[in-house]
């Protein structure tokens, strides 16, 4: 039976899909069926272009599901994209930027971490280690394009990232730092997190926290899925996309 909620929100990597990978076909079909019944928000640390590759390209054309029920929240909800059916395009409808001076400071500190040789950070990364996503600075220790098998063994218990997070918070108190995925640390404007992004969406829709259920894998202190739980939203923790698939099957019958 479907949850008695007006909107279901999902984390992406580790919840709907393997890190940086496209949705499995079965997951895509289940999401399409859910979109016939509910509004669905997908929120993650990636840029919109990453959502396009992982989610939208797999879901297919807008006439194959209720696309207006889907809301994309990149960079941990500090951006919001909605589909404009009149022009058949996704458009940004909200964003919360970081100041340029703060971004420069964060990038410099991440470079110090890389140069320190204290955290087994790759000297031959696959893709960028530090990426400016406009409203967020993201760090991926092995590079954004590293294989998931490599990522999973780098920091399985979040110990390295918890140390980096604590140090960054001391150096840059004007930001919020959160752990996500398998090798990622996301930095956004102070006070911003997934709960704030979701609450901005709820206000825009004329809804309250009672109307939403959030599903995520990083629901632990310091994890970038923890803030909805802290904010008092109803949450459902999963540990991998296969668990989300079973959850959706149970909901949809």
- pLDDT at 19 (0 to 100): 85
Smallest CA-to-CA distance from 186 within 147, 225, 146, 236 is with 225
Q: What is the CATH number of the domain that holds 45?
A: 3.40.50.1000
Give domain status of residue 24, yes or no: yes
- pLDDT at 64 (0 to 100): 78
Give domain status of residue 62, yes or no: yes
Secondary structure (3-state) at 21: coil
Q: Domain residues for 72?
A: 7-96+192-252
Same-domain check for residues 220 and 180: no
Give domain status of residue 120, yes or no: yes
Same-domain check for residues 197 and 184: no
Query: Which residue, chain included where needed, has tokens 């994890």?
Result: 223
Give domain status of residue 225, yes or no: yes
Same-domain check for residues 13 and 27: yes
- Domain C-terminal end among 172, 189, 206: 189
- pLDDT at 183 (0 to 100): 93
Q: How far is CA 196 from CA 48, 157, 189, 192, 203, in A?
A: 18, 26, 11, 6, 11
HSE at residue 64, side-chain half, CA atoms within 13 A, is 11
Secondary structure (3-state) at 241: helix
- pLDDT at 222 (0 to 100): 81
Smallest CA-to-CA distance from 128 within 137, 118, 115, 119 is with 137
Number of domains in the chain: 2
Give domain status of residue 2, yes or no: no
The answer to whether the predicted template modeling score (pTM) of the entire model surpasses 0.85 is yes
pLDDT in tens, the chain (253 residues): 899 999 999 999 999 999 889 999 999 999 999 999 999 999 999 999 999 999 999 998 777 789 999 999 999 999 999 999 899 899 999 999 999 999 999 999 999 999 999 999 988 999 999 999 999 999 999 998 899 899 999 999 999 999 999 999 999 999 999 898 889 999 999 999 999 999 999 999 999 999 999 999 999 888 889 999 999 999 999 999 999 999 999 999 8
List CB contacts of 4: < 8 A, sequence separation 6 or more: none
- pLDDT at 63 (0 to 100): 75
């Amino acid at each position: 039976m479907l949850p008695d909620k007006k909107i279901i929100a999902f984390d992406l990597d580790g919840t709907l899909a393997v890190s940086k990978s496209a949705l499995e076909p079965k997951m895509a079909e289940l999401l399409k069926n859910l979109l016939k019944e509910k509004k669905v928000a997908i929120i993650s640390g990636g840029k919109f272009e990453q959502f396009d590759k992982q989610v939208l390209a797999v879901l297919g054309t807008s006439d194959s599901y209720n696309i207006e029920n889907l809301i994309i929240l990149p960079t941990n909800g500090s951006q919001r994209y909605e589909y404009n059916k009149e022009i058949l395009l996704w458009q940004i409808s909200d964003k919360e930027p970081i100041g340029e001076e703060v971004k420069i400071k964060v990038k410099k500190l991440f470079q110090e971490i890389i140069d320190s040789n204290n955290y087994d950070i790759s000297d031959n990364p696959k893709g960028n280690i530090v990426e400016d996503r406009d409203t967020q600075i993201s760090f991926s220790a092995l590079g954004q394009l590293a294989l998931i098998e490599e990522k999973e063994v780098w920091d399985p218990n979040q110990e390295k990232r918890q140390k980096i997070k604590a140090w960054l918070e001391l150096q840059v108190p004007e930001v919020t730092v959160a752990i996500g995925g398998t090798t990622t640390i996301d930095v956004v404007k102070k006070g911003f997190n997934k709960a704030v992004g979701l609450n901005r969406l709820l206000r825009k829709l004329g809804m309250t926290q009672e109307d939403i259920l959030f599903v995520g894998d990083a629901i632990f202190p310091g994890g970038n899925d923890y803030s909805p739980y802290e904010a008092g939203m109803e949450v459902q923790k999963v540990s991998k996309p296969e668990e989300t698939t079973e959850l959706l099957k149970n909901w949809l019958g």
